[in-house]
Amino acid sequence: MSHYATTWAIRQRGLKPATKLVLWYLADRHNPDYGCFPSQESLARDAEMSRASVNRHLAALEDMGLIRRVRRTDPATGRVLATRYLLAFEDEFDEAPETPPCLDLTHGPCLKSDESRVSDCDTNLVIEPVRRMMMKEAGDFRARLLAALGADPESGVIAGEDAPLGTAADMVEAERWKSDLGLTEDDCVAVIADVMRRAPAPPRSFRYFREAMRAFAAAKAEAPLAPRKRRARKASPPIRARLPEEIPNREARDGGA
């Protein structure tokens, strides 16, 4: 179990409740050192839904850019191994898949395969509306980042390039710049603009800026604090010695006793 992964899953917005439940159980099975390899039977049992429903929600999560399914085989025997589920915050998430979705018979083929034998008993008619809600939630921050990149504010595509930027996975990365590194939105925009002035080619994802963000955060943390302004001290009233005539006669004070 990874507390970071489950917290990340809970923070995702715009998902149907059942879809978010599947994402949470995936995150609950995530191991920071080894990854996420639950069987569909386990996910169906945890979420208390059919395996076909689990597959539909996994497809929705993959279409929204929150997970990616990776087929695995034993290099020695060729035997199909359990599918690995990559979550959007993992470093390997942006690497292009080398093989098609998993067809492991032990936990059911993925619905993205033409050979799927899982019954089509569940539907999700809100994938596109959910995606639009997620992009709207990113709001001005996403628009400012795309502007700094010189990308189209709607599609996220830079002129002459094919891959869009500002996807759900990109925004997960951008949120980590703020939550993990303590940067402001203005800081993030400034770093991207500075990197783009020197970049030899357009980036493929926001992870391209990760090291620059870390370097900026480190420099920001080491910057000397501005000296505090010293408050002006109030002038003390002058001290004056009392003249002899100002000192009352002791005998008069004691009543002539």
Tokens 């980590």 identify what position?
176
pLDDT tens track for 180-229: 888 999 999 999 999 999 888 888 889 899 999 999 998 888 876 566 66
Q: Which of 108, 103, 138, 129 is nearest to 39 (CA)?
A: 108
Over 50: is that where the pLDDT of 122 sits? no
pLDDT: which is higher, 246 or 23: 23
Over 60: is that where the pLDDT of 98 sits? no
Mean pLDDT for the stretch of residues 3-31: 89
pLDDT over 90, % of the chain: 14
Mean pLDDT for the stretch of residues 143-172: 84
Quick one: pLDDT at residue 95? 58
- What CATH number labels 3-94? 1.10.10.10
pLDDT category at 120 given cuts 50, 70, 90 is very low
55 Cβ neighbours under 8 A, 6+ residues apart: 40, 108, 110, 111, 116, 118
Domain ranges (residues) in the chain: 3-94, 127-222
Spacing of C-alpha 100 from chain mean position: 27
pLDDT: which is higher, 132 or 88: 88
Mean pLDDT for the stretch of residues 16-24: 91
Mean of per-residue pLDDT scores for the chain: 77
Q: Break the chain down into helix, strand, coil percent, rounded to 5.
A: 45, 5, 45
